[in-house]
Amino acid sequence: MINPTEVLQSFEGRMKDFIDGENFRKCIQCGICGGSCPFGFYTDFTPRRMITATRAELVNEIIESNAPWLCTSCNLCTSRCPSRIPITDALIPVLRELAMNYSHLPDELGQALTNIHRMGNSFGESNRKRAKWSEGLGFDVKILKKGEHVDYLFIVDDFGSFDLRAQEITRSVARLFKMLGIDFGILGERERSIGDHVRLAGEFGLFEEIARSNINEFRNYSFENIVTLDPHAYNSLKNEYRRYGFQSNVMHYTQILSERLQDLMKLMHPLNYTVTYHDPCYLGRKNGIYDEPRKIIESIPGIKFVEMYRNRENSYCCGGGGGGIWYDSYIRKFVKTRPAEERVIEAGKTGANVLLVSCPIDAIMFEDAVKVTGLEGRLRVMDISELILESIGKGV
Amino acid sequence: METRIGVYICHCGTNIAGKVNVDEVREYASHLKNVVVARNYMFMCSEPGQEMIIKDIKEYGLNRIVVAACTETLHGHTFREVAKKGGLNPYLVQMVSIREFDSWVTEDKVEATEKAKSLIRAGVYRVNYHTPVETTTYPVDSNVLIVGAGIAGITAALVLADAGKHVYLVERQGFIGGNMAKFDKTFPTLDCASCILTPKMSAVKNNPNITLFTYSEVEKIDGFVGNFDVTIRKKPRYVREDLCIGCLSCIENCVYKEPRFMSEFDEGIGKRKPVYVSFPQAIPLVPVIDPETCIQFRTGKCVQTCLKGCPTKAIDFSMKEEIVKVKVGAVIAATGFKVFDATRDTKYGFGRYPNIYTTIQMERMLNSAGPTGGEIRLQDGSIPKEVAIINCVGSRNENFNAYCSRVCCMIGLKHAHMLRDSIGANVTIFYTDIRANGKGYEEFYRKVMLEGVNFVRGEVASIIPSENNRLTIVFEDTLLSRVRKKDVDMVILNVGLEPHDDWEDVRKVLNLTCTKEGWLMEKHPKLAPVTSLSDGRFIAGAAQFPKDIPDTVAQAEAAAAEAMSLIDRGFVESEPNVIRIDEERCSGCRMCISVCPFSAITYNEEKNIAEVNTGLCKGCGACAAVCPSKAISQNNFTDEELYAEIMGVLRE
């Protein structure tokens, strides 16, 4: 039995630890959060109602419900909140933390977190397989040794390292880097989870441990910038690791490609596609990178680019964030149409035959959703890097 | 002299010309009897349109003008000025409405054209009988009467006095400052109310252009705009203002050693003696003796220790009511408001259960010069830990007052902040909507939220006394959709604002109109918000409708400016449509006197006739209609004119 007063006090105490955390008191109960939420239809506690419940001293009811876990951390609510309440970064993770203290969490999430804690990745794989994706590329990807220097340290993170679909994206990005003559290297078996999903899942202790250990590891190498495959890793390194003393310049791979667009354009050949683009939550809404991916897409010759209704800061979510990708079956229990399914249907309506993404989780989620919604054969899900490669390859 | 009429038909863009065949109508009008010229034009009220008429007056020697356009109300004045510029008496013009009365309300174009013809025909027939009307002007007295010395009256008085006008400021209570003097702090800036009000109060007292009448009421206002005769009744305060030096030793020396009687100024939570001042910085600092509670008045046998202690012997039990008469040119009504009586909404248990207060009582409790010295205490002397503030008490409720009282949300937020600040209480505000629509108000709301004040949307259904002198509140949390309970130590009822109980009497004395609730009526809600429907009388502050201090002050300054505009013009023009009474025909029946709403007609006993004061006559025509001897005729509405018009409109 959870003591309502006790858990309310823990909640209020924890919220104070976050920048603007106490803004939850300024909630005007407008409900923009619930209306914006991809899971708003399926939960008893929208963020607004969570705050109402804190005011009625009913935090126990929230953490006993599924509500804390029905959040994809898409940040749409937070970006629109008129009281600037850090819903995604504080309210939800704090409630998840409290729920975990009382052992209320989806089983699969527990498994993923255990894997990260024990193995350094959510897949429970051996880290020796971290660089497996780089085999058979036709060139060697530099695996950094202690003290070695590169211009760009390429952080692949878990999905790009271990997921078969995401690995293809990692490979195409590496190929493009090679073609552009970019001096980059990876950590190979010394890479560990960056941990943004861990943080958003409410495992703040584990996240801090991961962050500190990664920062220590980075100190062994010399590099000018970090470039990430995954927008979630980008976000953590750029915004969260700072708190623990990390200072390097962080980029997402689309930013590098955008900078080197002149060189890329010399290599590309026309493609006859209509494409649309999904802004990943952690690249777009969270970090304001909307233009670089579009600039790249529009420079591919022959391509017709169409926008979905919901684009840029209003972009929808693939449903994989905040740990969602780890407990898909839990979400399926409560959610009729998953966000990814809704999103590919929306993409299909634009008349596009390619749905472009720039996040490995998007590719995984959407490809699955295309199969479920009967769009297979009509809508291809591709990473931007893959489309560029196809355009370059066509001329060969 | 030959009658020479010009007819001018306005297209009003497509407003008229879209329905009425203006060319056909012009052609028709040009053949009417005595019409010398008829023209149509896109916008007759524009500069070229006006010039056209002026030119025609000279060229054709016109001596009557008919303008077929919008309405007399909208542009009557414009075309009278045009006639004047052309050298004609302005009342030789007749306006015919072919827009409001015709093109806007007629579907069929042929019918609209025919109707325009008949209306113009009526105007032409009528204008034949018009005679020149001369108006007179009256000088305006530069003094101003201001009724009510709260922040609205004080502000208006200071603005006028600084401009060199003499102000008679009349306050019903013994001391000035009104409700604002009771407040502790003001939202959203949290300035102390006294710190911003008392300097203005003393400026009123020290300004030679202001004559202050406290403990006084306006008995009667005679006369008309620019020339009012005001009768003021000064109630005896039994302490002579000319002798009192404000040492307050009378209060100290009163035979009652302790204050025993309910203090009106403290809203029932403090006590006073029979001789009292509202608060130590009161203006005027001259105590009032309340005969209801003073032993001398009740028994005639008091030892009069007050008088013995008075160094200037200012106490005078024989003081009598005084009547003072003053002359003013303008009147400003700033009579304020009262708060809703919370006992009327019985579900809150106000007056029955302990530790339930109204917001105005809380102001007194929070005020360091108030009855508790600013200490927040429960009736058992302890400090409340849980406080509930209940909004919309008596407001937004069709059983009491349907309107929103506008200031209560912000007062509630202010009290919540102050209670957290001073005693660290947990405060919950129960609200229906939070309305924070002023400069800095929403920001203040957010600040109070961030401080940890709890907000529950949902009105309180009942308050029940529970154990340990606590109160159990039952309510539906409408945002959670659940009925909940909460135990608190203190409840503050956020009462709305209402007109004074005697608003009907006040309205009559000041000759103003009111809404059905009793709020003073403005001439136009947007374009004339401080002007009343009676000339020369202006309104300011919460007497017009609930408003906060910034809005009240803005309105008071506006009312002062309106009064000044009247005074500095220096004259008022008499009403042109006044009546004339034919002495020969008048039988002295006085029916006209009984129907005149402006008291403009008096009876001359000697001659046995009715006489009109054309300064007061507003030209309503009621007397002319009722007069059985046809002794009364009205300028611009003579029988000849009216019959001609009727003939014109009816004739094919």
Cα separation, B615 vs A367, whole angstroms: 90
Q: Work out the average pLDDT over A18-31.
A: 95
CATH number of the domain to which B19 belongs: 3.40.50
Is there a domain that residue B461 lies in?
Answer: yes
Q: Which of B452, B457, B484 sits opposite A29 (nearest CB)?
A: B457
Interface test with A, best of B426, B449, B478, B486 (most A CBs within 10 A): B449
Interface test with A, best of B413, B479, B486, B487 (most A CBs within 10 A): B479
Predicted confidence band at B197 (pLDDT cuts at 50, 70, 90)?
very high
Do residue A56 and residue B480 have CB atoms under 8 angstroms apart? Answer: yes
**Residues of chain A in Cβ contact (below 8 Å) with chain B:** 22-23, 25-29, 48-49, 52-53, 55-56, 58, 83
* In a shared domain, residues B472 and B352: yes
Residue B492 forms beta bridges with which residues? B357, B389
Q: Work out the average pLDDT over B332-361.
A: 96
Instruction: Note the pLDDT tens digit of each residue in B396-446.
Output: 999 999 999 999 999 999 999 999 999 999 999 999 999 999 999 999 999
* In a shared domain, residues B355 and B462: yes
Domain boundary among B551, B569, B587: B569
- Tell me if the bond preceding A68 is cis, omega within 30° of 0: no
Cα separation, B45 vs B12, whole angstroms: 9
* In a shared domain, residues B350 and B458: yes
Is there a domain that residue B649 lies in?
Answer: no
Instruction: Note the pLDDT tens digit of each residue in B626-647.
Output: 999 999 999 999 999 999 999 9
For residue B321, how far is the Cα from the chain centroid?
A: 28
Of A19, A36, A28, A50, nearest to A78 by C-alpha is A36
pLDDT at A395: 54
* In a shared domain, residues B331 and B194: yes
Q: Which residues of B touch A22 (CB under 8 A)?
A: 450
Angle at A269 between CA A266 and CA A270, to 5 degrees: 135
Q: How many residues does chain A have?
A: 396
Q: How much is the mean pLDDT over chain B? A: 95
Is there a domain that residue B401 lies in?
Answer: yes
Of B550, B552, B526, nearest to B539 by C-alpha is B552
Predicted confidence band at A52 (pLDDT cuts at 50, 70, 90)?
very high
Please name the residue of chain B whose CA is at the shortest distance from the CA of residue A44. B480
Q: Which of A22, A26, A52 sits opposite B480 (nearest CB)?
A: A52
- pLDDT greater than 70 at residue B83: yes
- pLDDT greater than 70 at residue A396: no
pLDDT at B610: 95
Please name the residue of chain A whose CA is at the shortest distance from the CA of residue B445. A26
Residue B41 forms beta bridges with which residues? B10
**In A271-332, beta strands by DSSP E:** 274-277, 304-305
Q: Work out the average pLDDT over B247-272.
A: 95
* In a shared domain, residues B82 and B154: no
Max CA separation in chain B (angstroms): 97
Domain boundary among B498, B514, B546: B498
Q: What are residue B91's phi and psi, to 5 degrees?
A: -90, 10
Is there a domain that residue B11 lies in?
Answer: yes
Q: Which residue has the higher pLDDT, A29 or A323?
A: A29
Do residue A29 and residue B480 have CB atoms under 8 angstroms apart? Answer: no
Is there a domain that residue B551 lies in?
Answer: yes
Helix (H) or strand (E) holding B610: strand B609-612
Q: Which residues of A touch B452 (CB under 8 A)?
A: 25
Predicted confidence band at B574 (pLDDT cuts at 50, 70, 90)?
confident
Please name the residue of chain A whose CA is at the shortest distance from the CA of residue B478. A52
Helix (H) or strand (E) holding A362: helix A360-372
Of B338, B334, B262, nearest to B501 by C-alpha is B338
Cα separation, B78 vs B99, whole angstroms: 17
* In a shared domain, residues B57 and B206: no
Domain boundary among B133, B154, B170: B133
Q: How many CB pairs under 8 A join A and B?
A: 34
Strands B210-213 and B167-170: parallel
Share of chain A above pLDDT 90, in %: 95
Q: Which of A26, A29, A58 sits opposite B446 (nearest CB)?
A: A26
pLDDT at B597: 82
Interface test with B, best of A48, A51, A52, A85 (most B CBs within 10 A): A52
Cα separation, B264 vs B267, whole angstroms: 5
What is the radius of gyration, based on Cα positions, of chain B? 32
What are the structural domains of chain A? Answer: 4-105 (1.10.1060), 117-258 (no CATH), 261-393 (3.40.50.10700)
**In B287-343, beta strands by DSSP E:** 288-289, 322-328, 330-333, 338-339
Is there a domain that residue B14 lies in?
Answer: yes
Structural domain boundaries enclosing B481: 339-498
Distance from CA of A134 to the nearest CA of B (A): 52
- pLDDT greater than 90 at residue A181: yes
* In a shared domain, residues B178 and B260: no
In chain B, how many domains are there? 5
Instruction: Note the pLDDT tens digit of each residue in B208-251.
Output: 999 999 999 999 998 889 999 999 999 999 999 999 999 999 99
Share of chain B above pLDDT 90, in %: 93
Is there a domain that residue B412 lies in?
Answer: yes
* In a shared domain, residues B185 and B328: yes
Q: Which of B450, B451, B456 sits opposite A55 (nearest CB)?
A: B456
Q: Which of B446, B451, B454 sits opposite A55 (nearest CB)?
A: B454
* In a shared domain, residues B82 and B173: no
* In a shared domain, residues B464 and B530: no
Interface test with A, best of B446, B475, B476, B483 (most A CBs within 10 A): B446
CATH number of the domain to which B565 belongs: 3.50.50.60
Cβ within 8 Å of residue A268, ≥6 positions away: A299, A300, A301, A388, A391, A392, A395
Instruction: Note the pLDDT tens digit of each residue in A83-134.
Output: 999 999 999 999 999 999 999 999 999 999 999 999 999 999 999 999 999 9
Is there a domain that residue B372 lies in?
Answer: yes
CATH number of the domain to which B613 belongs: 3.30.70.20
- pLDDT greater than 80 at residue B652: no
Do residue A26 and residue B449 have CB atoms under 8 angstroms apart? Answer: yes
ipTM higher than the 0.95 cut? no
Distance from CA of A307 to the nearest CA of B (A): 37
Q: How many residues does chain B have?
A: 652
Residue B604 in tokens? 């001359």
Instruction: Note the pLDDT tens digit of each residue in A63-78.
Output: 999 999 999 999 999 9
Of A184, A197, A185, nearest to A158 by C-alpha is A197
Cα separation, A246 vs B409, whole angstroms: 47
* In a shared domain, residues B349 and B484: yes
Angle, helices B193-206/B151-162, rounded to nearest 10 degrees = 40
Of B243, B273, B270, B271, nearest to B255 by C-alpha is B273
Q: Which residues of A touch B450 (CB under 8 A)?
A: 22-23, 25-26
Do residue A26 and residue B484 have CB atoms under 8 angstroms apart? Answer: no
* In a shared domain, residues B554 and B461: no
